[in-house]
Amino acid sequence: MKAAIMFLSYVLFALIFVNLFADVSAPPTNQDLPYLDRSEIGARWAGMAGACIATVDDGSAAWLNPAGLGKIRRIELVGTLVRSNQDIDVNWFGVKSSSSVGSMRFQNISISYPFPTYRGSFVLSGSVVRTISYDQYLNRFANPNFHDIEERKAVVSAWIGAFSVEILENTFLGAELHGYSGMFKSTESYSPWSNECEKGVFAQDGDLSGYGATIGMVSSPYPLFSAGFVVRTPQRITFKGNELYTETDDGHGGCKLWEYPTRYDIDLPYSFGFGMAVTPLGFILGADMFYTDWRELECPLGTRDSRGNYLYDQTLDIRVGVEYTFPQIPIRLRGGWAYLPQALNLFDMKKDENRVSLGFGAIAASSLSFDLAWIRSSFEREIAEEGEPDKRYFEKRTTDRALFSLAYRF
Amino acid sequence: MKKILWILLGVFSAVLIAGCYTVIVHPRVEDTDGSSYRTRYCSDCHASADFYYWHWPYYDRWYWSYPHWRSYYCYPWWWNDYWYWKGDTSGPTWQEPRYFEERMRPATPVLPGGSRDVGEEKKTQKTSPPGQSGADEKQKSQRPRYFDERKRPLSPNKPDTEKKQSGKEKGSEKQEKNTEEEKK
């Protein structure tokens, strides 16, 4: 009987994985889509630079690795706030400009309920997670007579229902289903080359909706070692709103502003994550890899350039984190480093995106824990025309984020 | 959409398979001796209570090493009535703070990297009284390791014989010590 069940489970997982890698085709874009954002969720895991697939064991697991929910023993309520600030320095045609934008938002709120069990573990969780919290203000020319300002804001919340079950001793399987809701607003205003219009505008403003799912597993085959994986299905995001743009009406007197309703779908591709952790006394050392083939992105704006090359590439994120728990005082410290290649390959990367993080956690009255984390990410990129150094476009982005999580276990 | 259905099918099947290990509902057990006492110890019915009782996942063992985090991570919430029960007649006392010392963990886990026992004090309370018969010793050796370490009080409806007996035994132990001292 046991052998039959094992055989059936192997067949089942084989079918799932064959289906995962089945056809996904791709059309193109020339934009820095906010949907490519890969932010860390939860202050504790942000403090470890997001290296948590094998170790996550709180409500954030609903999004990060649902299998980790199975480790929760007490009813838990957790919430996170995030403050972010992004600085962008640009040098274009020899003109330098700097832009800065900041925001403060809640990142997640989650409640997890572990069912009483005689053996094993079964945990249900409901969460709202801001999976995309994107603010950008980019002024490429700091010049009143000639400007190119790009302002973009995207806030997407995933409403998650998740569960985790212990399927073997120390092995958990979890899954989550989520629906998206949010908004997207983008305004690009520029000085048009034509004299017909004083101001050029292209703007989008509307609501986002969508859905997706994640399955995950985590296992501790030995006391000091655990490993886990995550498979994130394609995420469908639908934009429904208005587009507005200027159009030169030659011969009939100047410019017109056109506004019309728009609806389009964006399909984010599969993502696969794998993580390991070793836990010698006092330490949690975690390392994650996360693979996404952005060439499979489907977007009506297009994902290929005029020569048919992909504008988006594969990415393999690498995250490493460490946490130390003090034995005598209720405090733990953590730090991490992450390497995240850019998905958009329209630019030449001068310096790939690196993230460094620091974190701190404490507990009060054995039931209330809080965590603080600071994480800085930066990268540099450029577009250099051969033989025309004056047309060089250079951009440096630095983002600082501070996260604060509060969790209560009843 | 088709792929999502595949995933859902996979998850659903995985949950079915998962039922092989996780046990949520215990089968209803009728009392066989007609007494009003309802057993709450798994080991009263199961030779291997480890099977039906809480096991020690590795991460629990890890957190167990850190007293400040022990209660937060290791104790299931449905154990509260075990830990707050005061005496034979009073109900659970939820007002008490959730300090780990007040929760009498039935077993001491084996810590990774050594055999340092965290619940040393409790262990000393659980030393078997002298003068036990050989049959009792044999029976004891067959019990799960935490059977004798468990400190949860008895059910209010059960005659308090066991406790009284243990009290007597403790008393006799004291008497023996006193007589030894007098002899000296």
Binary contact (B69, A16; C-beta < 8 A): no
3-state secondary structure of A234: coil
Over range A323-346, report the average pLDDT: 90
The CA distance from A369 to A362, in Å, is 6
The CA distance from A89 to A100, in Å, is 9
- pTM score of the predicted model: 0.72
Residues of A in contact with B96 (CB under 8 A): none
- A65 min Cα distance to partner chain B (Å): 14
Q: Quick one: pLDDT at residue A139? A: 74
Tokens found for residue B167: 């009290």
pLDDT at residue B151 greater than cutoff 50: no
- B123 min Cα distance to partner chain A (Å): 22
Residues of B in contact with A121 (CB under 8 A): 22
pLDDT tier, B144 (very low <50, low <70, confident <90, very high otherwise):
very low
Does B26 lie at the interface with A, CB-CB under 8 angstroms? Answer: yes
- A16 min Cα distance to partner chain B (Å): 7
Binary contact (B76, A74; C-beta < 8 A): yes
Binary contact (B58, A327; C-beta < 8 A): no
SS (H, E, C) A43-59: HHHHHCCCCCCCCCCCC
> Of A15, A169, A173, which has the smallest distance from its Cβ to B14's Cβ?
A173
> Of B15, B54, B77, which has the smallest distance from its Cβ to A74's Cβ?
B77
- A100 min Cα distance to partner chain B (Å): 40
Q: Quick one: pLDDT at residue A99? A: 83
Tokens found for residue A66: 């649902």
> Of B17, B52, B62, which has the smallest distance from its Cβ to A167's Cβ?
B17
pLDDT tier, A216 (very low <50, low <70, confident <90, very high otherwise):
very high
Binary contact (B58, A170; C-beta < 8 A): yes
pLDDT tier, A381 (very low <50, low <70, confident <90, very high otherwise):
confident
pLDDT at residue B143 greater than cutoff 60: no
Residue of B nearest to A236 (CA): B1
Mean pLDDT taken over chain A = 82
ipTM above 0.90, yes or no: no
CB A389 within 8 A of CB A66: no
Question: What crossing angle do the helices spanning A2-20 and B2-18 adopt, rounded to 10°?
Answer: 160
Tens digit of pLDDT for each residue in B32-49? 555 544 555 555 565 544
Tens digit of pLDDT for each residue in B69-126? 877 887 777 765 444 444 445 444 443 433 333 333 334 443 333 333 444 333 333 3
Nearest to A247 by CA among A235, A259, A230: A259
Residues of A in contact with B28 (CB under 8 A): none
pLDDT at residue A82 greater than cutoff 80: yes
Binary contact (B72, A369; C-beta < 8 A): yes
The CA distance from A154 to A136, in Å, is 9
The CA distance from A71 to A172, in Å, is 8
pLDDT at residue B154 greater than cutoff 70: no
Tokens found for residue A218: 């985590």
Helix or strand (DSSP H, E) at A333: strand A331-340
- A265 min Cα distance to partner chain B (Å): 14
- Give the B window 45-64 contacts with A, CB below 8 Å: 51-55, 57-62
pLDDT at residue B160 greater than cutoff 50: no
Binary contact (A213, B7; C-beta < 8 A): yes
Nearest to A180 by CA among A124, A126, A242, A236: A236
pLDDT at residue A286 greater than cutoff 60: yes
Residue the block writes with tokens 């890698």: A21
- Give the B window 122-161 contacts with A, CB below 8 Å: none
Does B167 lie at the interface with A, CB-CB under 8 angstroms? Answer: no
Interface test with B, best of A10, A11, A16, A115 (most B CBs within 10 A): A16
Q: Quick one: pLDDT at residue A181? A: 92
Tens digit of pLDDT for each residue in A297-328? 887 777 777 777 788 889 999 999 999 999 88
Residue the block writes with tokens 């046990």: B23
Does B68 lie at the interface with A, CB-CB under 8 angstroms? Answer: yes
Tens digit of pLDDT for each residue in A12-51? 444 433 333 333 222 223 356 777 778 889 999 999 999 9
Binary contact (A168, B53; C-beta < 8 A): no
Residues of B in contact with A410 (CB under 8 A): 77
